[in-house]
Structure 1
Amino acid sequence: MNKNIIDPYKILIGNQGYMKINGIEIAELKDLEVKITPEMREIGLLNSATKGKYITAVNGTITFELNKIYSRFKPAILACAKYLQPFTFSLEATVYAPKDKNKKHREEESIHIEVCWLEGDISLFALKSEADFLTEKFQAGFQIESAKFTDVIDDGNEWGC
């Protein structure tokens, strides 16, 4: 993976970017959110009236919505379901900064997650009698250890745990 040093003061454009599943760009992407949710446990602190918390686990979730074209990976989802196996995939997502006139390429922020799986209800087929465009929403989980940002921010500050 190519690591880029990016300007931490650039404003990112939330409606310009892309998503790849297993290396294939999903051109019909409408919305995407990747987030982590820590599970916290409360404990009493020794010699203190204050209770503290510590993290017991972290859950990674991905939600994305597509403007439907054709069932690109639904045959694979169905095949996995027939054998009680999850549909697993890798995900790469990128958001762009505005393009500078003097630069050939845009700066961007990217995340790459190697171990992802679909969760929840998965619609295999839908029909709407109205003239609306079909959209599909997906929920997915991911292994936290397999996620990493592919860009480097070098602003002289150190952030740590």
Structure 2
Amino acid sequence: MKKALIITDIQSEFLGNMDYIYPICQKYLDERGNDYDLVILTHWKHEDNENENTLLLKHGKATVVEKRGYSAYIPEVAKLLEDNKIEMVHLGGIDSDMAVMATMYNLLDAGYKVQILERLLSSYSTRNWESTTIMRFVLGDENVLDLGGMRTWL
């Protein structure tokens, strides 16, 4: 089964109380990024960063996609997944209760198998535990993977 990794919006202006998530995600990319058939890093563009590159993560095989809404499942990402014949998508990033969850639902609607990398999640609102609980309910415990680093429930 061909597998993709999508990590949403690990960018400098979002860190604040979530600064722990950047090194955890980068370490996972360094150690496991090459295990994926496709790696997508999203960079949320908004009024304050329109002309800046505030994305922090890097990986040699990553495709960086700019988005302007919560979900990472935008036409460019849909095409990348289709062109690479992806069947399963692993998700992580900021904001678990908004961007990651919106992406999860859109991918499910599009027919993809989705798994969440629990330890690569963070939430600005500190609702990580609640959003992970919802993801477990929707996807099943077996699809919320305890991978990626130290516990990040804040």
Give the TM-score, by structure 1 length: 0.23
- Kindly name which structure, 1 or 2, has the bigger radius of gyration based on alpha carbons: 1
- Structure with more of its chain in strand, by fraction: 1
Higher helix share: 2
Larger RCO (CA within 8 A; separation ≥ 6): 1
